[in-house]
Structure 1
Amino acid sequence: MGRFIKIENFVLLGLLFCWGAKVESKPLVQAFYVFGDSTIDSGNNNQLATVFKSNFPPYGMDFPGGIPTGRFSDGRLVTDMLSSLMGLPDELPAYLDPNFTGEQLLTGASFGSAGAGIDDTTSLPMGLITLSKQLDNFKSYKEKLAAMVGDNNATEIISGALFALSMGTKDFVVNYYMNPITREKYTIDQFQDLLLHDLQPFIQKIYNEGATKFVIFGVPPFGCLPLTITLNNPISGTCVDDYNNVATSYNNKLAPFIDSMKASLPALQIAYIDIYNKFFNIIQDPTQYGFEEVRKSCCGTGKLEAGPLCNTFSKVCDDVSKHLFWDSIHPTSRAYNIIANDVFKQIQGVIF
C-alpha cells in the first residue's frame, strides 16, 4: 500500500518527521532545487579536489552550531532562507553531502559549485562542477528519488517544485576580466550573448526533466565586491563603474531572454529575479539597512581574503552584523537575509 499513498500525505509525513511540531501549514512548493555558484553552494565543493572550499573556520561561525558546512558566508545562504520562507527545511542540503539521504530527498537540494560559471570553461580549469554536470547530478538525484517514492510520486514532487539558477559573476570577474584569452576572443557584448546562448539548452533540458517553475537570478553589482575594488580601485576604494555597467547590461539582456523562453516553453513558469538593485541600494545607503562597512569584508584585511585565504588564522571583525561582506566576494548572512526577503517578494509576484 505504501507505493500508492497520496503524494501530499507522503510529503507531509516526511516533513513532519524532519521538523516535528514546526510544520503548521503546507509548503508553497513541494521541493526546492538550485543550480549555480558559491552564492548557493551549501557544501558540494567539499567533495572536490579544489581550493574553492570553505568547510573550515571562521566560515560558518554564525551557522546553527557554529559549523563550517562549505557555505561561503558566516551563516546561512539566500537559498537556505528562501527554503525556510517557502515552508521547507531551514537549510538546503548539498546534493554531494554524504548525509544527503532519506527524507531529505523529498524537499530539494543544492547542486551548485563555488566558482562555477554559466560557461563551462569558467569551471573546468579549477575542477569545479560545470552547469552541464550539475544537470547530470540532478538526473542522478531523480533516480534516487524515484527509487524512494516511486516514479509517479517523484514526478509529482518535481513538477510541484521551484527551480532556481544563481550564477554569472564568476564568468565575468574571472573568465572574462582575468583571462586575456577570453577578452581577445570576445567583446564583452559577445561574451554576454555567449552566456545566454549557454543558458538556453540548460533551461530546455531542465524543463524536459519535469520542471514547471523556474527563476533565474540576475547578477549583482560585482564592481562593488571588495576583491574587484582592491584589484581595480585600491586608492579611491570606490566601486568599479565599468563592471557594474556590464552587470546592468547583462541583466537587461537576461530579462527579455527569459521572456523569449516563456514563448518557446509556454508550460514553464519562468521569471527573472533582480538581485542588483537591492544590493546596490544597500551599498548606496548602508545606514538605512543597519550596515556600517560596505567596502571591506569582515574576514582578514577585508580586501582580498576568500576561500583558503579566509581561514583559522584570519582576524575577524568585531561585529559581523555591521558588515555587508563576509569575505572579499560573499555577503554576510545578515545581508543574505535582506536579499532573501526581497527575492521572496519577487517570486511571490510571479510564481506563487
Structure 2
Amino acid sequence: MGMGADPFLPRRPLRQALRLHLQLRRLLRRNRQQPRRLRRQLRLQPCHAPTLRLHLLRPPHRPQLRRPPHHRLHRYGVPPHSPLPSANSPDLWRDRLEVLNSTGPLAAQRLGLPLVPPSLAHNGSFRQGANFAVGGATALDAAFFHDGSDPGNKFPLNTSLGVQLQWFEALKPSLCRTTQECEAFFGRSLFFVGEFGVNDYHFSFPTKSLQEITAFVPEVIRAISMAIERLIKHGATSFVVPGTIPSGCTPHILSSFAKDDPAEYNSTTGCLEDYNKLGMHHNLLLQEALEKLRGRHPDAMIVYADLFGPIIDMVESPRKYGFEDVLTNCCGGPGALICGDQGAHVCEKPAARLFWDVAHLTEAAYRYIADGWLGSIDSPATARESRYQLVR
C-alpha cells in the first residue's frame, strides 16, 4: 500500500518501541514465581467482541505496568493452544469456539491470570474479574444505527460500549463500597477495552458508503476515549486498548463486497484496499486519542495493542505461521451460509486457517498475536527486523 497523500494513512514515520514487552515479560516471569492466589480483571468487549475486561494484578506487577516507557504492544512468536472462554454469549460447541478465544483472554493466561466469568453469569464470583463481552457489540449506542426513515426499524442490539459500562457500574457495588476502597481495587486492576469499532463499520457497510463511514470514525474514537475517562473516574489506572483489524482481508468483506476491478485489491495480500485503509484511519486516530489521554492522566498506563499489523503479516506470509488458507473461513459455507447455520461445515484443520468464520480469527491466529504481545523480547533481533514495529 502506498503512502503518498492518502488521508487514511499515517503521515509520519513509526518508531520502534519494545521496552514495554520487556516489562511484560518480566511481569510474566515474576507471576510464575508467585502463589496462585490472584487479583482481578475486568473486560469490556464485543465479539467480534469489543470488550471491557478487568484483571486484578498481584502487587509485584503494579509498578511495572504503571510506568511503561512506551505505549504499544506487538506480536511475535509461535504459541501453544489453550482453553476457550465464553463471555456473555451462549455456550456453543466447546471444541469449536475459536471465535471467542481472542487475544485478551490469551494474554491474561500468559500472565497467570484466570479466565474471568461473564458479567451476567448468575451466582458468578467476580472477585477475580469480569468479562462484559457480547457478540456484535458496537462502540456507538444503538440509536446511532436506527433508520430515521422508519421509526419501527430498530437496531437489533443493545450491547454497546456504553451499555457495557452500565453493567460495570451496576456490578461495582459488589466489588467495593467507598471511594477509597474502589480506587485501591481498580488501581490494582488491568482493563482490556476493545477492540471496538469493527462492528460499527461492518454493520454500516451495506447501507453507507466508505466516505460516510469514514466521517463517523471520530465518533467511534470519541466513544472509546470517553469510556476510558469514565473508568479512570472510578479509579482505573491500567488499560490495554486494541486497534481494529484489516476488514478488507476478512472473508465476509471479500465475498459481500467483491469488486470487478483488480486495482481495488492489494496485489500482495489480495485484500480490498479501501476497507483496510478505513481500519488504518481508525487506528491512527485511536493512537492519537490515547496519547491525549496519557497527557491528561499521566499517572495512568494506557497501552495501544496492534491487531492490524500482525494479521496483515499472516496474510502476506502464511507459511511462517503454518497457515494453508488465509482469506476464506474454516466454519460456514458458500454464499450467505454462516457458521452455525444448517448445512454449514467445518474445515478439517482449523489451526491451518487464519479465519474461523467470516469475521473472526481462529484460536491459532489469536494465539500468535497474544503470545507476540508478551513474548517479542525473546527474539530482539527478529523484533528489530519486523515490518510492524510498535511505535510511540
Tell me the TM-score normalized by structure 1. 0.75
Equivalent residue runs for 1:172-187 within 5 Å: 172-175=201-204, 177-180=205-208, 183=209, 187=212
Among 263, 282, 298, the alignment partner of 1:266 is 298
Alpha carbons 2:139, 2:197 under 8 Å: kept? yes
Shift of 1:100: 2.1
Cα distance in 2 for partners of 1:250, 1:324 equals 22
Cα distance in 1 for partners of 2:176, 2:337 equals 42
Alpha carbons 2:183, 2:234 under 8 Å: kept? no
Provide Cα deviations, 1:15-72, integer angstroms capped at 9, x if missing partner: xxxxxxx9752689832222121044654544xxxxxxx5333xx325xxxxxxxx6x
Which residue is equivalent to 1:162? 190
| Cα RMSD (Å) | 3.2
Shift of 1:142: 1.5
Shift of 1:233: 2.1
Which residue is equivalent to 1:282? 314
Matched, 1:108 2:151: no
Among 108, 126, 129, the alignment partner of 1:83 is 108
Cα distance in 2 for partners of 1:128, 1:96 equals 14
Query: Which structure shows the bigger proportion of residues in helix conformation?
Result: 1
Which residue is equivalent to 1:55? 91
Among 39, 47, 55, the alignment partner of 1:30 is 39
Cα distance in 1 for partners of 2:173, 2:182 equals 9
Matched, 1:320 2:342: no
Shift of 1:232: 1.6
Equivalent residue runs for 1:134-149 within 5 Å: 134-146=164-176
Among 237, 243, 249, the alignment partner of 1:212 is 237
Q: Which amino acid aligns with 2:224?
A: L
Shift of 1:313: 4.5
- Aligned to 1:162, the other structure's residue is in SS state strand
Cα distance in 1 for partners of 2:337, 2:191 equals 31
Cα distance in 2 for partners of 1:226, 1:266 equals 41
Provide Cα deviations, 1:158-186, integer angstroms capped at 9, x if missing partner: 111111111111111213x2233xx59x7
Q: Which moved more, 1:315-324 or 1:113-122?
A: 113-122
Cα distance in 2 for partners of 1:217, 1:346 equals 17
Cα distance in 1 for partners of 2:361, 2:334 equals 12
Shift of 1:258: 0.7
- Aligned to 2:355, the other structure's residue is in SS state coil
- Aligned to 1:125, the other structure's residue is in SS state coil
Matched, 1:93 2:97: no
Shift of 1:153: 5.3
Alpha carbons 1:226, 1:302 under 8 Å: kept? no
Cα distance in 2 for partners of 1:342, 1:134 equals 28
Matched, 1:334 2:370: no
- Aligned to 1:198, the other structure's residue is in SS state helix
Alpha carbons 2:88, 2:119 under 8 Å: kept? no
Residue segments in structure 1 that go unaligned for 5+ positions in a row: 1-21, 47-53, 63-70
Which residue is equivalent to 1:293? 325
Provide Cα deviations, 1:75-104, integer angstroms capped at 9, x if missing partner: 633222122112111x23211122522xxx
Q: Which moved more, 1:279-288 or 1:247-256?
A: 247-256
Identity, in percent, stands at: 23
Alpha carbons 1:29, 1:162 under 8 Å: kept? no
Cα distance in 2 for partners of 1:281, 1:337 equals 14
Provide Cα deviations, 1:202-248, integer angstroms capped at 9, x if missing partner: 12111001110112111011111100000122778932110001111
Alpha carbons 2:183, 2:236 under 8 Å: kept? no
- Aligned to 1:223, the other structure's residue is in SS state helix
Equivalenced residues, count: 299
Residues 345/29 of structure 1: CA separation in 2 closer, same or farther (3 Å cut):
farther
Q: Greater RCO between the two (CA within 8 Å, min separation 6)?
A: 2
Residues 288/23 of structure 1: CA separation in 2 closer, same or farther (3 Å cut):
closer
Provide Cα deviations, 1:251-294, integer angstroms capped at 9, x if missing partner: 11111111111111222211211111011100111110011011
